[in-house]
Structure formats: structure tokens, C-alpha cells
């Protein structure tokens, strides 16, 4: 029996998507599996185009943006972003709201002078610093932030308004809520949470920002080279793209991003309501910064963690252990996690509290 998988990524995929992949595994097009066809074949090139069009529809991406499917994960983009977007500049602005921001900052430091425009470190990563406290550098080549911090469980519900190009690592909340793409210079996201299995990173970049990569930029990370090659400068992981396409089709059938956001809000509310209803479970994140995607919590009696995780597995609720840096529990409830999974977890939490509280 399939479990409810609360893994932070790679994470749960909808059963209907997996079943379709299973049905087509041996024969996708012309009697071959999507695992076997060339990335340069006409059927695969059509799949790339269809995936781009689905993303354009789902996110209302304007014409002046390029969509790329790249390898190297979001971590690869931590380097690719400064290499491509410095455009003769020296300094870049970063907002530090948690572990993933910090990794992006460390990597960018190899290519640029990084200034920290704002940091949640002072408040122990429990709330996103208000925009009027940010120290912006008008000479920055761009400002980078992490709209959802997968480990710390903080999320921006607003888009920063800055004069320089805005760069967002949306790895853990892309397609989970409507956004206005025109406010961004570049958006990137690993596929393995909200969009499919691991293996590809989607990059959505304003066309005028491309074409000025540092000479040291590896070809596979050069946005304009990859744009000219339709993301096929080298062999792209064909099966991952095939799965992303199925996920995008699923998202459209579910009513698109606005409908998904309503469901995501309702899912997160179920868990936060249980946490807030007593002092048994603790979540330190400020109300207006709480993630809809990664709900983190501790216990007033920390010794209960292992019992909680063990008992949860016994009823089919898996991968709830928090990140090793923070401990506690983390329930990752991305787009594909059904309401029934979250309801089962909320009920389990209530029963667990009744028993051990």
C-alpha cells in the first residue's frame, strides 16, 4: 500500500501521474519508452515545447522570458546565477532567511562581492525581515532571495519590490501560489518538490538579462547558449522532463495554480490549527512568515519526537523527521500531497497529543 510521503524532496507525486507513466513505460511514442528516446527526436522536441507552453499557461509567463530546463540542481544555479547575471557588475544583494539562502550566498561569494540586504539570523530565522529594514545597494547586479525556506519553514507571502533585477530560488514553492512573473528578473526551481522527480531545474529568465555570461561560465550553465539549443546543449534527462510534463498536465487538470493555492492554504491550516490549539506542539515561526509547504514543529517534551515518528509510520505517515540541522518534525505538503494525507496527519497529531499530552 502506498504511504503518505511527507518527504521534503524528492517528494510525493500524484498517483494518477505515476499510473500514467506506468502505462506508458514500455511504449510511449513509436513503440519506445520515454526512457529510450533521443532528446533530439521530433517527439521529444515536441514534449519540450508542450512543457514550456504548459508552464507559460500555468504561470502566465510573458513573451520576454526564456524557459530553460537545466541540470546541476538548484545548487548549480547558486553558481550559474552570478556567472550569468553579473553583466559587468561587481556586487550582488542577497537576503538571508535560512539554510538555503546561506548556501546560495556562500556559492555566489566565489564570483561576486555579496552584500546581505537583510537577514533573519538575528531573530533565529523565525520571521522574514520587513522590507523597510532592508539595506539595498542600487549598484547590485541583482537581488536574490528564497521565497520558501524548505528547512526553516519560512515563506514570503509578498514579492519584494526592488529597482534591480529580482532573482528567486523557488525550489520549494514554485507553482504553489500565483505570482506575477513580470516582477522577476529570474526564477529558478529544482523539479523534485512541486513539479516532478529529481533531475531538472527550471529557469525562467528575462531575455534582456542573458548574453553576458562570465567567460569562465561552463557551456551547460550559459543561459544564452542553452536558450539557442532549446535546453539541449547536451543530453537532457529525458525521463525527468517526461514526468514534469505529466505533472504540469495534472496541475492544469486540477484547476491551475489559483485552485492549487486554495488547497495548499487549507492543507497548511489543518496542521497549524492543531499546533496552535495547545502548548503540546511548538512552532516558533511568526504567523505572517509560516510556510504553506513545509510545516515545522517541535514538542514541549522533546523526548516524544522518536515515539511520534515511530507511531506515525505505523499508520502510513512517512518521512516526517525534521532536517538534521534543526531536528523536530517537518511535514512537507507540496502540491501533490492530497488533502486526505494532511487530514490523516492532523488527526494523528490530535490523538497523539491526547495520549501523551
- CA atoms of 170 and 223, how far apart (whole Å): 18
Residues 159/180, Cβ–Cβ less than 8 Å: yes
Measured from the CB atom, is 154 or 251 closer to ligand PMP? 154
- CA atoms of 98 and 111, how far apart (whole Å): 21
What is the closest distance, in whole angstroms, from the C-beta atom of residue 193 to ligand PMP in the complex?
7
What is the closest distance, in whole angstroms, from the C-beta atom of residue 325 to ligand PMP in the complex?
12
| Residue nearest ligand PMP (C-beta atom) | 73
What is the closest distance, in whole angstroms, from the C-beta atom of residue 109 to ligand PMP in the complex?
16
Q: Which residues, at least 6 apart from 49, have a Cβ–Cβ distance to it below 8 Å?
A: none
Binding residues for ligand PMP, per CB under 6 A? 8-9, 73-75, 100, 146, 150, 169, 171-172, 190
Find the helix or strand (DSSP H, E) in which 188 lies: strand 186-190
Residues 221/83, Cβ–Cβ less than 8 Å: yes
The two beta strands, 201-206 and 65-70, are antiparallel
Residues 181/65, Cβ–Cβ less than 8 Å: yes
Measured from the CB atom, is 11 or 238 closer to ligand PMP? 11
What is the closest distance, in whole angstroms, from the C-beta atom of residue 76 to ligand PMP in the complex?
7
Measured from the CB atom, is 76 or 185 closer to ligand PMP? 76
The residues annotated with a catalytic role in the active site are: 100, 169, 193
Residue of 289, 269, 267, 271 whose CA lies nearest to 281: 271
- Coil, strand, or helix at residue 251? helix
Measured from the CB atom, is 146 or 238 closer to ligand PMP? 146
Amino acid at each position: 500500500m502506498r504511504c503518505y510521503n511527507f518527504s521534503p524532496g524528492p517528494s510525493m507525486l500524484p498517483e494518477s501521474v505515476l499510473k500514467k507513466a506506468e502505462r506508458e513505460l514500455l511504449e510511449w511514442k513509436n513503440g519506445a519508452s520515454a526512457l529510450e528516446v533521443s532528446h533530439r527526436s521530433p517527439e521529444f522536441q515536441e514534449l519540450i515545447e508542450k512543457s514550456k507552453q504548459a508552464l507559460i499557461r500555468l504561470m502566465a509567463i510573458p513573451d520576454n522570458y526564456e524557459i530553460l530546463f537545466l541540470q546541476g540542481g538548484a545548487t548549480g544555479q547558486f553558481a550559474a546565477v552570478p556567472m550569468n547575471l553579473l553583466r559587468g557588475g561587481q556586487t550582488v544583494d542577497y537576503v538571508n532567511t535560512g539554510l538555503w539562502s546561506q548556501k546560495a550566498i556562500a556559492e555566489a561569494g566565489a564570483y561576486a562581492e555579496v552584500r546581505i540586504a537583510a537577514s533573519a539570523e538575528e531573530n533565529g530565522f523565525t520571521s522574514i525581515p520587513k522590507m523597510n529594514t532592508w539595506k539595498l545597494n542600487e549598484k547590485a547586479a541583482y537581488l536574490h532571495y528564497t521565497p520558501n525556506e524548505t528547512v526553516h519553514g519560512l515563506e514570503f507571502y509578498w514579492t519584494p519590490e526592488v529597482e534591480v533585477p529580482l532573482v528567486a530560488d523557488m525550489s520549494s514553492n514554485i507553482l504553489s501560489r500565483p505570482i506575477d512573473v513580470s516582477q522577476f528578473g529570474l526564477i529558478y526551481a529544482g523539479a523534485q518538490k512541486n513539479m516532478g522527480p529529481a533531475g531538472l531545474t527550471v529557469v525562467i529568465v528575462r531575455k534582456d538579462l542573458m548574453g553576458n555570461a562570465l567567460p569562465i561560465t561552463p557551456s551547460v550553465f550559459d543561459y544564452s547558449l542553452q536558450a539557442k539549443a532549446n535546453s539541449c546543449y547536451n543530453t537532457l534527462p529525458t525521463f525527468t522532463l517526461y514526468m514534469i510534463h505529466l505533472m504540469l498536465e495534472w496541475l492544469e487538470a486540477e484547476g491551475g495554480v489559483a485552485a492549487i493555492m486554495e488547497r495548499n492554504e487549507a492543507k497548511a491550516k489543518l496542521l497549524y490549527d492543531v499546533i496552535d490549539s495547545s502548548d503540546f506542539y511548538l512552532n516558533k515561526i511568526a504567523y505572517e512568515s509560516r510556510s504553506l509547504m513545509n510545516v515545522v514543529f517541535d514538542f514541549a517534551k522533546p523526548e516524544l519526537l522518536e515515539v511520534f515518528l515511530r507511531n506515525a509510520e505505523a499508520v502510513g505517515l512517512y518521512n516526517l523527521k525534521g532536517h538534521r540541522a534543526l531536528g523536530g518534525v517537518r511535514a512537507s505538503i507540496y502540491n501533490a500531497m492530497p488533502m486526505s494525507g494532511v487530514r490523516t496527519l492532523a488527526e494523528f497529531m490530535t490523538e497523539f497529543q491526547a495520549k501523551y499530552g
